[in-house]
Amino acid sequence: MQFVAFDGKVSAAYQGDYADLVKRVFAFVGDDLEDANALFQRLVNLRETRHTAVKARLGVTDMWAVGPSAAWPLVVVIIDEAHTYFRDHRGSDPKTKKLAALAAENARLVEDLVKKGRSVGILTVLATQKSTGDAIPTFIRDVCPVGLSFAQKTAEAAVAALGEDIRNWDDANPINLQDPAYVGVASMSHQSRPGFARIRTPYVTDADSARIAEATAHLTQDPMELLRAHGGLTLSKAVDHPGDRPKAA
């Protein structure tokens, strides 16, 4: 597995939740929309290149028919505080117009990753604490096959996270998960299954996370470079990629 992280609540890799984990990601971006846009485009280039190469390299059109490997790893794209990158900027001055254009382009690129990335081993995880319907554009949410929500305070927030049907599932509604006994419990929806389910996620301490990231840092590699090294195809329009070292915005 290879990881890439976007964290919309910090400006640099040494800040925030990923400070001790950044050695295990091949790229990192903070809250700068232009830097985020460049990395989203880099990931879409990877997605396109994998689609071009998958039949020749793996003998299948869906990577999951054979599973991930060291040469073709599962790429987990974490977009934390995702609303930062899609915010609707309003104004007529040049700076605001540029931000609005970047946000719109970010949304288009992320839709591409979510919709087309799964079959070539790119899993996109969008996370937000902004429990409103506009936090993540609906055209992105509609192509996400799995939805997860931890405890919510209002029915509107639960609906924003999981859709209208959650109103009819009291036993799984995240507004009923506010008791301390439900720490780590989330409600889950899946497009291929009716209804909702509860899942519990294990607690991992910051110290354990940092230790694991440090111990596995040597495994971090750019998946595009892995594809090139093992004879994969590259698209002529693909841009040059920076080194493996994660860089802050």
Q: Over the stretch 25-41, which tens digit does the pLDDT of each residue have?
A: 999 999 999 999 999 99
Is 28 within a domain?
Answer: yes
Q: What are phi and psi of 247, to 5 degrees?
A: -125, 140
In 3D space, the residue among 36, 27, 29 whose CA is nearest the CA of residue 12 turns out to be 29
- Structural domain that includes position 90: 2-135+205-229
HSE (CB half, 13 Å, CA atoms) of 168? Answer: 5
Q: Would 182 be classed as within a structural domain? A: no
Nearest Cα residue to 241 out of 11, 14, 49: 49
Indicate which CATH number applies to the domain containing 116: 3.40.50
In order along its 249 residues, the chain shows pLDDT tens digits of: 999 999 999 988 888 899 999 999 999 999 999 999 999 999 999 999 999 999 999 999 999 999 999 999 999 999 999 999 999 888 889 999 999 999 999 999 999 999 999 999 999 999 998 767 688 998 998 899 999 999 999 999 999 889 899 999 999 999 999 999 999 999 999 888 889 999 999 999 999 999 999 999 999 999 999 999 876 554 434 444 444 444 444
The reported pTM is 0.87
| Structural domain includes residue 115 | yes
CA distance linking residue 8 with residue 60, whole number of Å: 36
Six-digit token string for 232: 């994969």
Strand, coil or helix: 63: helix
162 contacts 147 by C-beta, under 8 angstroms: yes
| Residue 131, pLDDT score | 67
